Structure 1
Amino acid sequence: MSFMCQKDSYLREFSTKVKSCKPATTTILEDGKKTKVKGYEVILEDTILFPEGGGQPDDRGTVNDIPVLKITRSWEDAVHFLPSEIPEGTDVSLKVDWQRRFDHMQQHTAQHLITAIVDYKFGYETTSWNLGSDIVTIELGTPSFSASKVAEVEEAVNECIRKQIPVTPTLYPDKDDPELQKFRGLGLPADHVGSVRVVTIDGVDSALCCGTHISNLSHIQAIKILGTEKGKKDKTNLLVLAGNRLRRYAGNSFDREKQLAGILKGPAEKQSELAEKAVRGMKNYQKICNAQLKELAALEVSLFKKSDLKDTVFVKHRKDGDNDYISVLLSELGDENLPKLLTVGDEKEGGMFVVAGPAHLVSELGPRICELFEGKGAPNKANMFRGKASKLSNRAAAEKMMRDYISGAGDRSSPAARVEP
């Protein structure tokens, strides 16, 4: 298997012909969600659009200006999934999404280089890798990898970049060629057909690989190993950025640094210290606020109980309230037979609510008030219904519903459901 994108990864446009086109359904990832779409599987005589494989995601681009949504490999063919039909025998023009392609080339070649240097210096093999959309992870077959080793590898790979070492693909027509045994690689897929490609970084590494690569290490520009993280059992992940991703990361980091300097009122070298101080202050402030909120809840219940005008229902809303505030209200009120409607949160952003009282009131009004609040909830015991509300602006209507129910106006057919004061 060898496509034009593997022979010359720098080709951005290409002309070829449609071999076949048939209706199909596939699953694509849109905004992090898997979506089933209908379209056509188009196979071309050749392609500059890389099908996913070898740890590298597929390319994006167009065929006769029709967007390619997905590219997979089936034996010796690359299958392009398009939303529109292109009849068999049609001459077509291909264009590759060069920004995506070049990013993949930089990251993939950087992975080969790091893998080779780590193996040469420390004897740890790369067991898998993930190109991802942000940070590249390279899984090493070792339970730990020290900071000093990270620094040593980073210096070595960037020295190779400075030497402008060529990167060359070579095709071996026979996959059973014994010469292939001497090259690094995780092996060929079971359905591999045709020639085998070996990518060589001159004097550094030769490995079996189907992916797209740069032609010279200088095109990587630079590599930064951000650090390590614990991988699978007895494995360590290297976290890596290369080329344009590294440049974007540096720019974004500087922008965040400037923003934090304004928020924390201090230079970059003191931002961790200032942020820690701010967090401690906020936690202390929250403790004080929570304590005062509980005291306020107890006071509100006390005033309710001492009032000369005894109400048949307890209704309370507090924008800055929380679950603890509600719990204190319920605890201080005590009387399970007293109908209660408690709400906390912002009318625009939503919040929480509790309907409590006699079991028959809760079972009937709980779901109705929940619907009125356009919320979600359920009874957590016989005399209480808890939920989250997205429309607390309907509080007045919910209170009226409860008072009508108590007075009998809300359910004339069931006098037994009334709650006597």
Structure 2
Amino acid sequence: MVFYCQRHCYEKEYATKVVSCKPAKLELVVDGKKKKKVDCFETTFEDTLLFPEGGGQPDDRGTVNGISVLRVIRRGGEAVHYLEKPLEVGGMVNQCVDWARRHDHMQQHSGQHLITAIADSMYGYATSSWYLGENISYIELDTPKISQEEIDAVEEVVNQRIRDATPVVITEYDAADPKLQEIRTRGLPEDVVGPVRVVTIENVDANMCCGTHVRNLSDLQAIKLLHTEKGKANKTLLYFVAGQRVLRYLGECVERERQLNTILHSCPADHTRLVEKIQNDLKSSLRSLREAMKDLAISEGQKFTVLDPRPSVYFHHRRDGDMDYLSAIINEINDDNVLKVLTVGEDKGPGCLVVHGPQNLVSEIGPKACEILEGRGGGKTRFTGKVTRLGKRNEVEKYVRSILENKTNEV
């Protein structure tokens, strides 16, 4: 079925009738993480203004009689809508589309068709798939690499077609029409129902597609090809922004540039040089810091080794230390008969625990100490763990001393 949204991509409102509505559960994805399933209502209509996900294009959002639409999917010839509240079956309703989202998707999708066609016609780089992201999209080209000169050439031709105000026409064909054999496609879904839509960019490309598109390339405003990444199986990912996203992307770049001007006290032309200098200075400082921390750890270890008599247990904590610092202390003491309970990190933040010494004590004390500090770890002669509550170090020390005292009494 070809829906109203596909025939009238620029319409923002539409009146239709409710065909079905039943309770359902929907698993929403937010920031790439799955949330628990939410209660909603699975609803179908005689037709729909809201595009169901398909062809690489995400679904629309909007409202029906003021009720928010959470998802729209295609199931065979039906568009299934998931609503926050129920509707009366048989009643007339008013659908409203989130136009900013719809128009953005139209611009990115038509932009993808244009880039795909030009890259193929100029260099024979076919498109094997594409991804419409929330901020940046990419096209997967069937080539192991594409040069910057080729990218620049494609971008120039693409934007010339936009400046030419090239028309975009959508035509519907019967699925058995032989003309479809001459039209580019990556294949139709097995459950496709009804006419087949062909999106034609005049004198540029004709391609089967179910998505929503602009009616003229001038509506794309501009396209910027950003960069490439190596894809799978000798393919290349070509990233791009189209339409309003170009202005938004430029605005974000300008804002970052202004912030860097303030931070670096320089003009944009000096940013790269100054950041490289800062990186080199930081590497040098970190090397010096590591050497100083190692010297400090050796000094701490030496303080303990000169004690007479030497205690059977050694507690040590340093807020700004790391695992290398603790290892240096253990190496300097160099006595496996001494039980060493060492920690680094902030009292209320993440940190590290090391328990080292006699195996029987380490295997008993390590896990419990880690539990008190609310962390996880493991090891026999050297127990290491990542902990989150170093402010409880006193509890660990009391626990360790009680264990040692009990063992002394047992003897």
Q: Matched residue of 1:69: which SS?
A: strand
Q: Say yes or no: does 1:240 pair with 2:240.
A: yes
Aligned residue in 2 for 1:143: 144
State the AA in 2 paired with 1:137: Y
Structure 2: how far apart are the matches of 1:261 and 1:148? 30
Aligned residue in 1 for 2:128: 127
Pairwise CA distance, 1:151: 0.8
Q: 1:415 to 1:364 in 2, by over 3 A?
A: farther
Structure 2: how far apart are the matches of 1:64 and 1:333? 75
Structure 1: how far apart are the matches of 2:384 and 2:367? 10
Q: Matched residue of 2:392: which SS?
A: helix
Runs of 4+ in structure 1 off by over 4 angstroms are none
1:395-410 equivalence runs, <5 A:
395-408=393-406
Pairwise CA distance, 1:190: 1.1
Aligned residue in 1 for 2:299: 299
Q: Select which of 377, 385, 392 maps to 2:390.
A: 392
Structure 1: how far apart are the matches of 2:368 and 2:319? 22
Aligned residue in 2 for 1:207: 207
1:173-252 equivalence runs, <5 A:
174-252=174-252
State the AA in 1 paired with 2:17: K
Structure 2: how far apart are the matches of 1:102 and 1:176? 32
**Identity of aligned pairs, percent?**
49
Pairwise CA distance, 1:302: 0.8
Pairwise CA distance, 1:97: 1.5
Q: Say yes or no: does 1:86 pair with 2:84.
A: no
Q: Matched residue of 1:307: which SS?
A: coil
C-alpha distance after superposition, 1:4-33 (max 9, x if no partner): 111111111211111112333343312211
Q: 1:144 to 1:31 in 2, by over 3 A?
A: closer
State the AA in 1 paired with 2:256: R
Pairwise CA distance, 1:196: 1.3
C-alpha distance after superposition, 1:357-376 (max 9, x if no partner): 33332233222221221112
Count how many residue pairs are aligned between Structure 1 and Structure 2: 410
Moved more, 91-100 or 279-288: 91-100
1:18-167 equivalence runs, <5 A:
18-35=18-35, 36-167=37-168
Structure 1: how far apart are the matches of 2:287 and 2:55? 53
C-alpha distance after superposition, 1:120-175 (max 9, x if no partner): 22222211111111221111122221111111110111111111122221222x11
Aligned residue in 2 for 1:368: 368
State the AA in 1 paired with 2:6: Q
Structure 2: how far apart are the matches of 1:346 and 1:250? 40
Aligned residue in 1 for 2:340: 340
Q: Matched residue of 2:228: which SS?
A: strand
Is the CA contact 2:312–2:337 (under 8 Å) kept in the aligned structure 1? no
Structure 2: how far apart are the matches of 1:199 and 1:284? 58
Q: Matched residue of 2:73: which SS?
A: strand
Structure 2: how far apart are the matches of 1:308 and 1:258? 62
Q: 1:31 to 1:124 in 2, by over 3 A?
A: closer
Moved more, 261-270 or 384-393: 261-270
C-alpha distance after superposition, 1:335-365 (max 9, x if no partner): 2221221111112322111122333322332
Aligned residue in 1 for 2:381: 383
TM-score relative to the length of structure 1: 0.93
State the AA in 2 paired with 1:355: V
Pairwise CA distance, 1:183: 2.1
Structure 2: how far apart are the matches of 1:307 and 1:258? 58
TM-score relative to the length of structure 2: 0.95
Moved more, 394-403 or 46-55: 394-403
Structure 2: how far apart are the matches of 1:366 and 1:262? 49
Structure 1: how far apart are the matches of 2:356 and 2:66? 62
C-alpha distance after superposition, 1:257-295 (max 9, x if no partner): 222233333322222222112111111111111111111
* Structure 1, unaligned runs of 5 or more: none
Is the CA contact 2:311–2:338 (under 8 Å) kept in the aligned structure 1? no
Pairwise CA distance, 1:313: 1.9
Please, what is the CA RMSD of the aligned residues?
Answer: 1.8
